[in-house]
Amino acid sequence: MERNVRFRNLLCYGVGDLYGGGSFFIVGTMSMFYLVAVAGLSPLWAALVPGLGKIWDSFSDPLMGYLTDRTRSRFGRRRVFFLAAVIPVSLTFTLIWLPVRSWFPSLFSGDFPVFLYYFFAYLCFYTVTTMAMVPYSALSAEMTRDFKERNRLTGTRMFFSILAALIAGGLAQPLVHSFRDPSTGYLIMGLCFGVFFALPWIFVFFGTWELPLEEGEAADRKGIFRNFGSIFKNRSFRVHIMMYIASYAAMDILMGWFLFYLADVLGRPGLFAVLLPVLVISEMACVPLYAWISNRQGHARAFIIGMSVMALGMVLMAFHPPQSPAVLLVLNSALIGCGLSAGVIIPYTILPFVIDVDQLITGKKRAGTYAGAMTLLRKLIQGALVMPVLGFMLFLIGYQTPSETETLALTAAGRFADSAEAFAQSAAPAELEAMDIFAGTIRSAAGSIENPVRRSAAQGASEEAQRITGLIKENPQEASRRADELFRMLSDALAVRQSERTVSLLKLLFTLLPLICIILGILAALRFRITPETHRVITDEITRLSSGGSKEEADEHIRSTCEMLTGWAYEDLHQK
């Protein structure tokens, strides 16, 4: 007998995607900018950081799905992994924002050592997301078999996923900007959100359950990769995956280049902290609408409507000049969010029903295998497809990044100003020693800057730092004010300004690439055939066949529906 899914269970299940939605949102919107503009990697190296990690994911995600389908414990097949993930979730998310170049300049000199560190950090991060998200994605199919209850579970999950994106969009960037040194800001942001993403897994563990395995159900004995590859024989899954890849690629391109678009095309990076929450709030507000459409007209109709709205919003983005009124940008962002909502929630809402189609084909429940595929594809979309392509595109259009020595000088200037402010408040001798160290770093870095104009500005900042160091004991407040001015002056002098050609191409690609993905997603959705009516047919047939019913008893409507959804001849279905 099935347990009732109560409101508290919906909440406990849903909070798990604070991690999935929030971490991928921050990585998608901020990591490329961080790696290029803060860590100082070239766009090509930055693109390879997450992309090469997908080689490991191509093994670990199918393996995790395979393992969770075969795990047996008193806590179930899936839930046991939630408690194991708590500490690793927090630790690995923090590591991807560790400023190794500025903290350990002697060890991380040049692009390759920095690349190796961030490659390792992302490898750990993606491994932990696999450990948590694969069993989590499988759970909704195993808490209940009811169509509407599954939609409620997935809708709640997507609500929290979007809520996490809203929190991240509203707090992550302001948290970074609250520190003069951006590398410190990103690290503190990583620490805070690492804890925020870790704690919900405790509630997921205690507030969920798994339905018992049906009598006679056995684990599939196929090998790991044969088992994984067999799911692509499911016609509904193939169509579903095309919708999923297209919609999430469109979202990742939008998020990955949104800050570049605002900073380099419009010259208004400060709007990022306003427009991103607006986009996410509108996305969240439309979740009930698309759930309502899905329950009555099917998931494909809801998906097509949403993607069409997003396409309109992306087209309008191409017509904003740098002086465009902020209110128009807000409305445009809200329109994109309203459409994107369907692209975000529908693929995950569909998953439990695609798993039912697989059960009709195989006679087995392989939710873990399908969840592994979804988690792998999510990371492939973002890490192996979108971010490498975006990085390569930035390289091709001539996007310029600050040099290693310029980054070092600016980082030292920020910490110099922080130490001056701290001494003005506490008169701690340690802050004087820190100011001397950072002033020396500015001086040594300034002498290594190749561009003569930028080198002169850095040398002027170095001389000013020496004067401030001499003034700090006599007038700490004035010294702190001048240190802040020094940092702002150097930030402006070393700011990288892109060419007109680069800006024009960036604007074009920011609009065009998501539109291509949206069109492909809509074309795929036109071929998706699972509706409330067809799902009822196959679940009734699964129950009948599992109870020993004869295939000869199925009428033509049942046979044609099963063949349409599975892509298999009816006589070949449900062979355990």
Please give the pLDDT value at position 218: 46
pLDDT attached to residue 562: 93
The reported pLDDT for the residue numbered 216 is 45
Domain coordinates in residue numbering, the chain: 14-211+228-401+499-525, 404-493, 533-572
* Rounded Cα gap, residues 206 and 184, in angstroms: 36
Residue 576 pLDDT exceeds 70: no
pLDDT band at 46 (very low <50, low <70, confident <90, very high): confident
Give the number of C-alpha atoms closer than 13 A to the C-alpha of residue 311, restricted to the C-beta side: 16
Q: What is the mean pLDDT of residues 551-560?
A: 91
- pTM (predicted TM-score): 0.71
* CA terminus-to-terminus distance, the chain: 24
Distance, C-alpha 139 to centroid of its chain: 21
CA–CA distances in Å: residue 235 to residues 342, 522, 565: 22, 17, 6
Please determine, for residue 395, whether its predicted confidence score (pLDDT) is greater than 60: yes
Q: What is the pLDDT of residue 227?
A: 66
Q: CA triplet 354, 136, 30: central angle to 5 degrees?
A: 105
Whether pLDDT at 461 is above 60: yes
Is it the case that residue 401 has pLDDT exceeding 80? no
The two structure tokens encoding residue 48: 């390879």
pLDDT of residue 89: 95
What are the backbone dihedrals phi and psi of residue 324, each rounded to the nearest 5 degrees, phi first? -55, 135
Q: Please, what is the average pLDDT of the chain?
A: 86
Please, are residues 349 and 294 in contact by the beta-carbon 8 Å criterion?
yes
Residue 542 · residue 574 · CB < 8 Å: yes
Q: Which CATH architecture has domain 14-211+228-401+499-525?
A: Up-down Bundle (1.20)
Q: Give 56 or 260, the one with higher predicted confidence.
A: 260
Task: Choose from 33-37, 95-99, 546-550 the range with maximum mean pLDDT.
Answer: 95-99
At residue 217, the pLDDT reads 47
Burial profile 8-37: b = 16 or more Cβ within 10 angstroms, e = fewer: ebbebbbbbbbbbbbbbbbbbbbbbbbbbb
Q: Residue 379 pLDDT > 70, yes or no?
A: no
Tens digits of residue pLDDT in 486-542 = 988 988 888 777 888 999 999 999 999 999 999 999 999 999 999 888 999 999 999
240: CB partners within 8 A, 6+ apart: 347, 350, 351, 354, 528
User: In angstroms, rounded to a whole number, what is the distance separating the alpha carbons of residues 246 and 10?
Assistant: 28
For 163-177, the pLDDT digits (tens) are: 898 888 788 888 988
Condensed to tens digits (0 to 9), the pLDDT of residues 89-131 reads 999 999 999 988 878 877 877 788 989 999 999 889 988 988 8
Confidence of residue 140 (pLDDT cuts 50, 70, 90): confident
Tens of pLDDT along 203-259?
A: 999 988 887 765 444 445 455 566 667 888 899 999 999 999 999 889 988 988 898
For range 378-383, the mean pLDDT:
68
Helices in 178-271 by DSSP H: which ranges? 182-198, 200-207, 224-230, 235-260
